[in-house]
């Protein structure tokens, strides 16, 4: 099938384009910004090589060619958060107007971007209003994307399921053909339900994270052991283990944005969603309570150095959008504290943070002579750090481990003041039963 991806060098658009090319389709990745292509060799070498070796993908910034030369047009442009938490659909609207104006015969237009319920219906109107030839037939289809950053290629090529929202039998046939060689169940529904699946999934995942952060808070206050609690919960098959680690809260480009968008369009439909509003509120408390703790323990701001390890919103990606680490730095930036940062892949931040923090060359340089070490991202190299070496390098021995990567007992025994998430300063050993004896 001949396919164009509008937004084809974006995070989702590129992986979608290359993934479909590897599955044998002829793909045009169209994007207004082709500069990102220079970095492609580094970020997706395997997938890119396979797609280009088989001559199955081309890149262009010419939307007219992309539209005219394809049967199916997939739109994967950004749908960022607007000032009031609503979804800014301006990139999508512009893309739809341009696609409509260059359409010369029947096209299936697939919306891959995450969009509020009802957007496919709106897209139909936009296309109709902008067609150069009013009689050209078309269908609009919803096909949300569920890939996770850090695992995106695998998630796209081997998805748990493919969700498709169609309103005509013809577009259903086209979508079945598009994904014919994928080994995954396909859920075919109407466009509104399909749009809603994406929001329901992200709202649920965010809820799990806020839920466990709340359990962590109470565990800490009553001296219960969060590690034991997690194992006790995760082995329950009804609960499972994903998205159930206490930490600095959810970040990244999607969870908070999609939750806010859901709350906004639910409000317009007279649904107040008190639970999901609380999930968002709880998330905001995480970085605030970490910052308050650090400031309280350091007491005096002058001549203090903080070492922050990890800037990306999670391990496995260089994405700092809505990263808890960035939110922490924004709060610390207003103090007199010297802040040294290190991340294995993030080597710069946007202003004003860029000139407020010191980017260290190594983990050691970051930690040396610091008064407080804060772990913000769970990169494997941080997990393997030797606590004794860290102890010898620091001036004052305070560790704030927001990812619970170190063993609290080991840190305490070495003389650290150790603060994890959901871990009390001292757990009552008389009542704690070693977990290996339980399982
Ligand atoms: N990033 C993720 O992990 C993820 C996962 C699932 C779903 N999503 C959703 O997918 C969508 C895209 O997200 P992303 O992270 O890939 O965004 P992105 O910003 O990385 O990519 C969007 C791309 O669209 C291009 N673009 C914008 N307007 C255009 C136009 N008129 N013509 C051509 N190109 C245009 C931009 O240049 C950019 O390259 C969003 O709706 C997002 O919520 C993202």
- Is 429 contained in some domain? no
CA dist 266 to 57, 271, 413, Å? 39, 5, 51
| Statement to judge: residues 375 and 271 lie in one domain | yes
44 burial level (CB within 10 Å; 0-12, 13-18, 19+): middle
- Is 179 contained in some domain? yes
- Is 395 contained in some domain? yes
247-301 pLDDT, tens per residue?
Answer: 999 999 999 999 999 999 999 999 999 999 999 999 999 999 999 999 999 988 8
- Is 60 contained in some domain? yes
Distance in Å, CA 295 to ligand 1 centroid: 38
Domain stop point among 148, 168, 189: 189
Residues 106-117: what's their mean pLDDT?
Answer: 98
351-387 pLDDT, tens per residue?
Answer: 999 999 999 999 999 999 999 999 999 999 999 999 9
CB-CB contact of 184 with 158 (8 Å): yes
| Statement to judge: residues 220 and 167 lie in one domain | no
| Statement to judge: residues 143 and 226 lie in one domain | no
- Provide the residue range defining the domain that includes 368: 202-420
Closest atom of ligand 1 relative to the 112 alpha carbon: 10
DSSP 432: P
Number of domains in the chain: 2
Is the dihedral angle over the CA atoms 281, 287, 290, 291 positive or is it negative?
negative
For ligand 1, residues with CB inside 6 Å are 6-7, 9-13, 30-33, 76-79, 91, 94-95, 113-114, 145, 147, 149, 253-254
Question: Which residue among 8, 100, 109, 253 has the greatest number of ligand 1 atoms within 8 angstroms of its CB, and so is best to mutate?
Answer: 253
Of 38, 16, 12, which is closest to residue 27 (Cα–Cα)? 16
| Statement to judge: residues 218 and 118 lie in one domain | no
| Statement to judge: residues 260 and 355 lie in one domain | yes
254 is catalytic: yes
| Statement to judge: residues 167 and 241 lie in one domain | no
Reported as a pLDDT band with limits 50, 70 and 90, residue 427 is: very low
Distance in Å, CA 119 to ligand 1 centroid: 16
CA dist 131 to 98, 100, 255, 328, Å? 9, 5, 35, 48
| Statement to judge: residues 132 and 256 lie in one domain | no
| Statement to judge: residues 222 and 134 lie in one domain | no
| Statement to judge: residues 224 and 177 lie in one domain | no
User: What pLDDT does residue 37 have?
Assistant: 74
CB-CB contact of 311 with 349 (8 Å): yes
- Is 433 contained in some domain? no
| Dist. CA 145–CA 124, nearest whole Å | 20
Q: In sequence order, what are the beta bridge partners of 57?
A: 27
- Looking up residue 101, the CATH number of its domain turns out to be 3.40.50.720
Tokens of 205: 């995942």
Place of tokens 């369009």: 265
- Is 197 contained in some domain? no
SS (HEC) of 211-266: HHHHHHHHHHHCCCCHHHHHHHHHCCCCCCCCCCCCCCCCCCCCHHHHHHHHHHHH
Question: Which residue among 5, 6, 9, 10 has the greatest number of ligand 1 atoms within 8 angstroms of its CB, and so is best to mutate?
Answer: 10
Residue 21 has pLDDT above 90, yes or no: yes
- Is 34 contained in some domain? yes
Of 207, 200, 188, 189, which is closest to residue 266 (Cα–Cα)? 200
| Statement to judge: residues 141 and 288 lie in one domain | no
Sheet with 305-309, strands from edge to edge, namely: 358-359, 338-342, 305-309, 372-375, 398-401, 417-420
Distance in Å, CA 378 to ligand 1 centroid: 26
| Statement to judge: residues 146 and 239 lie in one domain | no
| Statement to judge: residues 157 and 111 lie in one domain | yes
| Dist. CA 273–CA 264, nearest whole Å | 10
Reported as a pLDDT band with limits 50, 70 and 90, residue 43 is: low
User: What pLDDT does residue 428 have?
Assistant: 46
DSSP 434: P
DSSP 9: T
CA dist 48 to 34, 38, 40, 278, 319, Å? 15, 12, 8, 42, 20
Sheet with 57-60, strands from edge to edge, namely: 57-60, 26-30, 2-6, 72-75, 107-111, 138-142, 162-165, 186-189
Neighbour count for residue 48 (Cβ, 10 Å): 19
- Is 431 contained in some domain? no
CB-CB contact of 171 with 110 (8 Å): no
Residues 42-55: what's their mean pLDDT?
Answer: 77
170-208 pLDDT, tens per residue?
Answer: 999 999 999 999 999 999 999 999 999 999 999 999 999
DSSP 187: E
Cis upstream peptide for 33 (omega within 30°)? no
């Amino acid at each position: 099938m001949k396919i164009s991806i509008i937004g084809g060098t974006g995070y989702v658009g590129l992986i979608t384009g290359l993934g479909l090319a590897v599955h044998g389709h002829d793909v045009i990745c169209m994007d207004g910004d082709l500069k990102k292509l220079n970095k492609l060799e580094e970020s997706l070498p395997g997938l890119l090589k396979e797609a280009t070796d088989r001559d199955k993908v081309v890149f262009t910034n010419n939307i007219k060619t992309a539209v005219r030369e394809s049967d199916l047009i997939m739109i994967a442009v950004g749908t960022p958060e607007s000032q009031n938490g609503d979804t800014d659909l301006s990139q999508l609207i512009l893309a739809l107007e341009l696609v409509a104006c260059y359409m010369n015969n029947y096209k299936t237009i697939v919306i891959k971007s995450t969009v509020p319920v009802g957007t496919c219906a709106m897209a139909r109107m936009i296309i109709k209003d902008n067609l150069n030839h009013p009689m050209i037939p078309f269908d609009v289809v919803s096909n949300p994307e569920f890939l996770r950053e850090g695992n995106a290629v695998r998630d796209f090529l081997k998805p748990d399921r493919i969700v498709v929202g169609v309103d005509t039998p013809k577009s259903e046939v086209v979508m079945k053909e598009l994904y014919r060689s994928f080994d995954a169940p396909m859920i075919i529904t109407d466009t509104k339900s399909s749009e809603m699946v994406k929001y329901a999934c992200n709202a649920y995942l965010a809820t799990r994270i806020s839920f466990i952060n709340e359990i962590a808070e109470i565990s800490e206050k009553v001296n219960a052991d969060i590690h034991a609690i997690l194992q006790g919960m995760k082995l329950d098959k009804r609960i499972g283990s994903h998205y159930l680690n206490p930490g600095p809260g959810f970040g990244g480009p999607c969870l908070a944005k999609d939750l806010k968008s859901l709350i906004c369009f639910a409000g317009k439909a007279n649904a107040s969603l008190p639970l999901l509003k609380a999930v968002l509120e709880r998330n905001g408390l995480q970085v605030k309570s970490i910052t308050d703790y650090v400031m309280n323990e350091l007491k005096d701001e002058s001549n203090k150095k903080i070492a922050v390890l990890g800037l990306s919103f999670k391990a496995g990606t260089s994405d700092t959008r809505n990263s808890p680490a960035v939110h922490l730095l924004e709060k610390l930036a207003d103090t007199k504290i010297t802040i040294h940062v290190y991340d294995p892949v993030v080597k710069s931040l946007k202003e004003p943070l860029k000139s407020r923090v010191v980017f260290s060359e190594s983990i050691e340089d970051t930690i040396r002579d610091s008064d407080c070490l804060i772990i913000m991202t769970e990169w494997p190299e941080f997990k393997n750090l030797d606590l004794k070496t860290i102890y010898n390098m620091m001036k004052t021995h305070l560790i704030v481990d927001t990812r619970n990567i170190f063993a609290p007992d080991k840190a305490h025994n070495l003389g650290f003041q150790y603060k994890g998430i959901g871990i009390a300063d001292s757990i009552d050993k008389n009542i704690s039963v070693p977990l290996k004896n339980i399982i």
